[in-house]
């Protein structure tokens, strides 16, 4: 049984990390609803495993790993594979993100949201989450070369989309 | 390819990354998470319990087969037919307990049924493997084995609904 102190520590972890994880998951899924569902799922999975969490590792890294697993499961859902990119993206993606991150660069968020999903995932994980290319490749099940090529193409597309 | 510092897009992406720490999840999301957490009783916390329950169920099933096989080996060929009925009963009881254990877990921890579906799939695969091994070793017809298991699965599900 988990004590009140344990529960308070878990709530503190939520307060510290939920915003950042929600932002990442919304950007990855292109949807506020899916982002919120995955954030909720992440913390429920975290709570289930909380008693076995070792304080020698960083709680933020631990919960981030759980979030990435939840996202990987989301990607594997059969219904997800039949959706095309246009269906996955909220119409007002920038506005959606701005709701949890006021002052964000809405134009850039919109342009990222319009990228094909695989490319968007690479951009979010590498540029916005700071994940090394080889880790992104492992996470997305691609080669490092493919991810580098996707990042290069994505930057070209973003440059084109944001041309004044 | 990714460290071109003159690229204005990269600069904007880096700025966006730096802002990420300021993101705030809406309070209603915490309320939803808290409600889910409150619904999970202490006994259901911790994934290892699912594994233990499934392992126990599979062991029960395997035990049923092992007991039946030993009984059959002890008897003559003529007496094997008479031993089929107790063996069928052992299969029924073991698989019923396995399914009841899984359903009890699902009922307690119904927050995300998908998680339990995964456990259920693993358990059913294990169940299938045990049936396959058991039927190869034990002189009971495959059809009878599957019929017995299906019957107990249906009875367990029907009883819990």
Q: Which domains does chain A possess?
A: 1-82 (1.10.1740.10), 105-164 (1.10.10.10)
Within a domain: B87: yes
Count of A–B CB contacts within 8 Å?
Answer: 112
Domain that holds residue B148: 46-160
Q: What is the largest CA-CA distance in chain A?
A: 58
- Minimal-distance CA residue of chain B relative to A53: B46
**pLDDT tens digits, residue range B92-128?**
655 665 555 555 544 444 434 444 445 555 666 666 6
- List, as own/partner pairs, every contact residues A90-95 make where C-beta atoms lie below 8 angstroms and the sequence separation is at least 24, other chains included: A90/A30, A90/A31, A90/A32, A93/A30
With the CA atoms of B102, B103, B107 and B108 taken in that order, what torsion angle do they form, in degrees rounded to the nearest 10? -30
Cβ B10–A127 below 8 Å, yes or no? yes
Query: How many structural domains comprise chain B?
Result: 1
B36 contacts in chain A (CB < 8 Å): 40, 44, 47
Express each pLDDT in B146-161 by its tens digit. 566 566 555 554 544 3
* pTM of the model as a whole: 0.62
Could you give the CA distance from residue B23 to residue A100 in angstroms, rounded to a whole number? 5
Torsion sign (Cα): B85, B90, B95, B96? positive
Is residue B16 situated within a structural domain?
no
> DSSP assignment, residue B45?
-
Q: Which value does ipTM take for this structure?
A: 0.85
Calpha distance B129→B133 (Å, rounded): 6
User: pLDDT digit of tens for each residue in chain A (164 aa)?
Assistant: 566 778 888 999 999 999 999 999 999 988 888 899 999 999 998 988 887 776 667 889 899 999 999 998 888 776 664 445 544 566 677 788 888 888 888 889 989 988 998 999 999 999 999 999 999 999 999 999 999 999 999 999 999 998 87
Nearest-CB residue to A100 (from B13, B23, B36): B23
Tell which B residues from 41 to 70 touch A, by Cβ distance under 8 Å: 42, 45-48
The string of pLDDT tens digits covering residues B80-98 is 555 555 555 555 655 665 5
* Contact residues on chain A for B31, CB-CB shorter than 8 A: none
**B26 in any annotated domain:** no
Residue B17 maps to a domain: no
A14: how many CB neighbours lie within 10 A of its CB? Answer: 23
């Amino acid at each position: 049984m988990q004590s009140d102190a344990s529960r308070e520590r878990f709530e503190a972890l939520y307060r510290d990390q939920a915003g950042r994880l929600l932002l990442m998951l919304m950007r990855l899924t292109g949807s506020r609803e899916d982002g919120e569902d995955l954030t909720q799922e992440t913390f429920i999975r975290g709570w289930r495993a909380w008693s076995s969490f070792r304080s020698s590792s960083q709680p933020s890294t631990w919960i981030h790993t759980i979030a990435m697993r939840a996202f990987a499961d989301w990607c594997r859902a059969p219904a997800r594979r039949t959706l095309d990119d246009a269906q996955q993206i909220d119409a007002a993606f920038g506005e959606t993100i701005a709701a949890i991150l006021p002052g964000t660069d809405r134009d850039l968020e919109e342009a990222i949201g319009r990228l094909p999903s695989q490319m968007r995932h690479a951009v979010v994980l590498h540029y916005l989450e700071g994940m090394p290319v080889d880790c992104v490749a492992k996470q997305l099940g691609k080669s490092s070369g493919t991810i580098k090529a996707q990042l290069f193409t994505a930057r070209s597309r973003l440059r084109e989309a944001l041309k004044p | 390819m990714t460290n071109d510092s003159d690229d204005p897009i990269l600069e904007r992406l880096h700025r966006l990354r730096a802002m990420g720490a300021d993101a705030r999840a809406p309070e209603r999301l915490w309320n939803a998470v808290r409600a889910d957490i409150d619904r999970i009783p202490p006994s259901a916390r911790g994934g290892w319990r699912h594994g233990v329950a499934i392992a126990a169920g599979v062991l029960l099933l395997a035990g049923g087969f092992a007991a039946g096989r030993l009984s059959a080996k002890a008897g003559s060929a003529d007496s094997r037919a008479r031993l089929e009925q107790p063996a069928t009963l052992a299969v029924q009881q073991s698989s019923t307990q396995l399914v009841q254990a899984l359903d009890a877990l699902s009922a307690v921890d119904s927050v995300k049924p998908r998680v339990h579906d995964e456990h259920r799939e693993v358990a059913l695969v294990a169940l299938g493997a045990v049936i396959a091994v058991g039927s190869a070793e034990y002189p009971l017809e495959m059809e009878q084995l599957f019929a017995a298991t299906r019957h107990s699965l249906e009875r367990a599900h029907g009883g819990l609904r």
